[in-house]
Amino acid sequence: MDYITVSTDTEYIEHTLCFLYTLQQHSTTHIKVLARGVNLSSTCIDSLRSVYDDITVIDDSTDLSTKRDKLKGDQSWEWSSLSDIKNNSFTYSDFMCYINNMRFDNICTLIDLPDTNRVINMDVDQLFINSFDINDMFKQGDIVTFNEHDQLTSIDTSDIHAGVWIPEVWTGGDTYTTDYPLNDESIIGVVNSETTRDYFNQAKRMIHEDFLNWDADYNTINYLYNQFADRISFTSPELKYNDRWYYSPDSVIWNGAANNRDKCQRYIDKRRDILNEIS
C-alpha cells in the first residue's frame, strides 16, 4: 500500500482541502492519506474527510505557543529586534515546530506497518495540476527528496513566473555545501525497507531531542544522509514534481513554498478556482 502523509492546522485548512481535492482528482493509483490535524475543530476534520475518499485523520492537539518569537537560522537575535519582521518567513513559533517536526512521527507510523510499500510526506501548500503517477516519481532511489542546489543551478531562469521568490544562488549571494545536500524537505518519499526504517526512526529520535528548533529536520536528515550514503540510494525526481518557480500548466505539482502561495498570482488564482469547485 502507498501512503501520503501531511500535517495541518486551522491556518492551513484551506490549503489542505485544495491539496486533498486535487490529489483525489489527479492520482492515477490508489493512495491512502494520513493527515495529522493539530488543534482542529470537528468541523475542519469532517471537511478533510469530505474531499478525499481514503483518509485517516489523527486528531492531535498541543498547547505550545503560537507566538512567532524565534528567528530561523543560527542568529541569536533578541525578540525586541524582530518587530519589523515577526510576521514573515524569517520567524517561527514553538507551535510551528510541532507541526513541522511531527511529520517524522507520521512517516515512522506508516513505514512500521507491514503492508506499507511507499510513503510520501508533503507540505499542504502543494497542488496537483496534472496526472500524478507515484510509480514515475519513484523510478529510482530508496528515498526521494529534492536537492535544491541541483535544481537551482540547472533550471532556466528566463521564464520564472512573476512574483515568486528568487533565491540568492542566482545572484551570487548564496552558496551551498555538499555536507548538506538535502535543502528542500517539502516532499520526502521513502520506499519501505529495513534500512529506510532505521534511517527514519533515527531521524525521529534525533529530532525529538531538538524538537523546538526549526532547523532540527534539516540538520538531522543531512547528518543521516552522510551516515547512510553507502546503504541508501537518494534521488531527486524531475522538476515537474516540485514546480515552485514557473507554475507551468504542464507540471504535475505546484509548490507554494517560500510564501509563493501568497505572492504568485497564478498560484493564487488556481487555488481560488479549486476552492470554488469544492464549495
- Express each pLDDT in 166-199 by its tens digit: 444 444 444 444 455 565 678 899 999 999 999 9
Surface-to-core class of residue 196, CB atoms within 10 Å of its CB (0-12 exposed, 13-18 middle, 19+ buried): buried
Strands 184-191 and 253-255: unpaired
CA angle, residues 192, 193, 199, in degrees to nearest 5: 90
Distance of CA 1 to the CA centre of its chain: 21
- Per-residue burial over 125-142, b if 16 or more Cβ lie within 10 Å, else e, is bbbbbeebebeebbeebb
Q: Could you give the C-alpha distances from 157 to 168, 241, 265, in angstroms and in order? A: 12, 18, 18
**Residue 191, CB-side half-sphere exposure with 13 Å CA sphere:** 14
CA–CA distance, 226 with 230 (Å, rounded to integer) = 8
pLDDT in tens, the chain (279 residues): 999 999 999 999 999 999 999 999 999 999 999 999 999 999 999 999 999 999 999 999 999 999 988 887 654 444 444 544 544 567 889 999 999 999 999 999 999 999 999 999 999 999 999 999 999 988 888 988 876 555 555 555 555 555 555 444 444 444 444 455 565 678 899 999 999 999 999 999 999 999 999 989 988 988 898 899 899 998 888 889 988 888 899 999 999 986 788 888 899 999 999 999 999
CA–CA distance, 209 with 205 (Å, rounded to integer) = 7
CA–CA distance, 180 with 219 (Å, rounded to integer) = 8
pLDDT tens digits, residue range 34-47?
A: 999 999 999 999 99
What 8-state DSSP symbol labels residue 181?
-
